Amino acid sequence: MALPKRIIKETERLVSDPVPGINAVPHEDNLRYFDVTVDGPSQSPYEGGVFKLELFLPEEYPMVAPKVRFLTKIYHPNIDKLGRICLDVLKTNWSPALQIRTILLSVQALLGAPNPDDPLANDVAQRWKEDERAAISTAREWTQSYAKSDDA
């Protein structure tokens, strides 16, 4: 199965013109599967953390959205314990004009703007609404515990 030209172009551009704070590298044996790291945005409880994600381009891409999932444990109302992300552009608001880089930018933006009113992790979202300071503090702790960049 030949890789669509669009995927090749996107991959080349991700390497030659990387998005600051975002790194996406395709697997050698599967060029549709990317190892991704996203830096936690500054001014957010995720600041200083480096979050690992996996990104997969389905056969129908770009007619369907990439599948993106957090691999690093993260305390966020829109990301559940399996790393699944509640993000409109990954679901209903996907458009073929979006790309890997724009999707990952959206993910990074989501870290900076948690939305507990559209939760995926209900317990986190509830805590976020009831006691935002405590929730943010937990998010910061988790960032320190799980998202420090020392690659073991």
Partner 1 sequence: MASNRDRAYGNDSQSMSGGDSADQSTADAWSSVYNAQHEQQPQGNPNLQPVQSEQGQEVLFMCHGCYNEFHAVPNSEFPVLCPRCNSDFCEIIDDPEDDPRDMIETTDDEDEDDEDYYFHSRHPIPDMPFTAFGGPYETRSERERQNTANVMNFVQFLSTIMHEGQQNASNTAGGSGRAMTGRTIATEDGSNHPMLGSTMGPFNFTVNFGIPPGVPRSAHEEAVDNSNNISPMEQLANFLQQTFRGIGVEPHVGNAQAAQGAGGQLPDLTSQLLGRIFNVSGNPSDYVFSNRQLDQIITQIMEQTAPSNAPPPATAGDISALPTTVLTPELHEQSSDCAICKDQYEASETVTLLPCKHFFHPACIKHWLSISDSCPICRHPITAGTASPPSDNAEPEQPRSAPLEPEPEPLDD
Q: Which of residues 81-110 bind partner 1 (CB under 8 A)?
A: 82, 84, 91-97, 99
Catalytic: 53? no
- Determine contact, residues 82/71, Cβ cutoff 8 Å: no
Contacts with partner 1: how many residues (CB under 8 A)?
A: 18
- Is 43 an interacting residue with respect to partner 1 (CB under 8 A)? no
State how far the Cα of 108 lies from the Cα of 105, in Å rounded to an integer.
Answer: 5
Contact between 2 and partner 1 (CB under 8 A)? no
Cα separation of 55 and 107, whole Å? 12
Does 119 bind partner 1 (CB under 8 A)? Our answer is: no
Coil/strand/helix, residue 11? helix
In angstroms, the CA 147 to CA 83 distance is 13
Minimum CB–partner distance for residue 9 and partner 1 (Å)? 5
Could you tell me the smallest distance in angstroms from the CB atom of residue 58 to partner 1? 10
Q: Extract the runs of DSSP E, i.e. beta strands, from 3-143.
A: 22-26, 33-39, 50-56, 67-70
Residue ranges that bind partner 1, judged by CB under 8 A:
4-6, 9-10, 62-64, 82, 84, 91-97, 99
Residues designated catalytic: 86
